[in-house]
Structure 1
Amino acid sequence: MVGARRIAYTTIPIHELREHHVLEKDKPLLKVTNLKVYYPLLKGMLKRKVGEVKAVDGVTFEIKTGETLGLVGESGCGKTTIANTILGLIEKDDGEILYHGESVPKELTSYLRQKIQMVFQDPDASLNPRLKVTGIIAEPLKNLLGITNKTEIRRHVLRLLKEVSLKREHMDRYPHEFSGGQKQRIIIARALACNPELIVLDEPTSALDVSVQAQILNLLIDLQEQYAYG
């Protein structure tokens, strides 16, 4: 492609990605500058563009390791759109997204998919009902870290479940056997599987009871204090 710029990221041995490492706090992680995402308004049978909706219009922020940043606004103001744009699920119209000082490409590289994880709002929509917990958490271990040995997978899954205060007995159960709070813990465990540096949370407690919300928030705070996630 003429004029294309090569994006370079540090190569990390696969075995180092398989274990959790504590990040150094207060290091620049993600920088978003003047981000704009517009959706076209179409009219008529020919779908002629008659205008546009400015879902995100000139948003700028920065996140460091060990830091929490909350985007506040009413429903439909563009919070989820920003998250999806960072993850490469939606293409931006303008602006810049930098990760460790390097421009984030339209399609995330394998390295970025390991290091940037997301916890979605609805736990039921995020879990495959046909898979047991081990299979759900094993997906990123297999697809991103290349772990195929069943014994090693179960060892990693058990470690991740313990990180989110679940037990060995939960490994071979299906999603419908868990409460809403437990399902969200499973999703968090899956997000932790690739040893991420940045975890994007899209209202992860809004579908839960108030008492359970506090438990999940405390869990996220504890994990951040331990590993310095952004």
Structure 2
Amino acid sequence: MQPSDHTFHFIDGPFKSKSAAGLDLRYPDGPYYTWWEKATVPAIRDACQHLREYLNQSSPSTYDGIVCFSRGCLLIASYIWFHQVERPTEPLPFKSVVFMCGGPVFPVLEELGMSISDEAREWDRRTKLALRERASKEAILKLGKDRWITPGANGDSDLHLDPSAPIDPSDVFGVDTLRMPQELRINIPTLHVYGRVDPRLPASLQLMYLTESTKRLSYQHEGGHNIPRSSATAEGIARLIDKCAQMIVI
């Protein structure tokens, strides 16, 4: 990816926020923003409307793609699901998505008619708990990179995640992705980037299997819930972003 070939827009969330865990160690002065103050369906719907207004006003043409990380992935996945159900004849304002350490928002999927199992909810609860502990400032200062493989004092001694285990689409950590209503399946090219020791690995895989299989790519890096910074990994991701762009239907 040559810098001269791409124009990037960086969008702030509408609400001022506290720093995400550990972010203030690198950016102590902020400012920090979030897309919602509470993760309720109405709040997420409002965030999607805010994003829709921005995208419609900021560019006369459709964006080639969106790159999102963590909570940003929750926003973009929810945006797509609301759009596909409520505006099925209207093209999305972007043609592809790069999801980094992403995941689905189960209450949004339920709102739109998808059944979510108790097992999936439990995985969601446990992995969020583990992430809060392992991404904390205390864990960063005490353990550094080892925090991703060091269980914290969160009641979860180990998630027993095997990043190399085969995935059954009918049971992706409790989600039967084969029974997803077709109008909800994300049908634009997607790239899914996730860390092999990310406590939220189940969420990344759930989201990946909720997208169209013929239009998705994936990249597993050696880290946790973070954007990898090594040159080799960055180059690998960049190559897949270019490949994802080639899948766009003009």
Relative to its length, the structure with more strand (as a share) is 1
Relative to its length, the structure with more helix (as a share) is 2
Would you say same fold, with TM above 0.5?
no
TM-score (norm 2): 0.27
Q: Which has the higher contact order (CA 8 A, sep 6+)?
A: 1
TM-score (norm 1): 0.28
Structure number, greater radius of gyration = 1
